[in-house]
Amino acid sequence: MRALIQRVSSGSVIIDNSTVAKIERGLVILLGIAPGDGEEQARYLVEKIANLRIFEDADGKLNLSLLDIGGEAIVVSQFTLYADTRKGRRPSFTDAALPEIASPLVDRFAELLTAQGIPTQKGVFGAHMLVNIANDGPVTIWLER
């Protein structure tokens, strides 16, 4: 499982000119699922993301977590995080999980974030989405389990 997290001042997901997710301060989480991923990987990354100290305190130091600031999250499924570009010019996505495996795990990941006390919204699995990210910092972190 791979997560590309971006600290945002705002973020949204738009599908067919309709906003399906919108947050203010928090994280946009682009989530890739591999064939062998399951509950263990989801729980690990959720706990890590919820408690990762990447928000500034009063002294400007990165000492606060998403939980500390009462931030929100948007989870966007992104199979392209498993792109293999070693051969040719067209990426291969054979390392990404099939939709029947990935979709329920993306939902479970979002449920686990919510259970941590983080208001969490999602994109729509498999949809063509316009993801707006106002990256704050910029702070972008790659996590993998």
Q: Which sign does the torsion angle of CA 9, 15, 19, 22 carry?
A: negative
Strand partners, 3: 31, 143
User: Are the C-beta atoms of 133 and 28 separated by less than 8 Å?
Assistant: yes
Active site residue 78: yes
**Residue 109 is among the residues annotated as catalytic for this protein:** no
The tokens of 90 are what? 């067209």
- Work out the angle between the directed axes of helices 39-51 and 99-115 (0-180°, nearest 10): 40
Residue carrying the six token digits 């993801």? 131
112 contacts 122 by C-beta, under 8 angstroms: no
Alpha-carbon distance values, 108 to 6, 9, 46, 77, 111 (Å): 20, 25, 10, 12, 5
Point out the catalytic residue in the list 6, 79, 120, 121. 79
Annotated catalytic residue within 78, 109, 120, 121: 78
* Residues labelled as active-site residues: 78-80
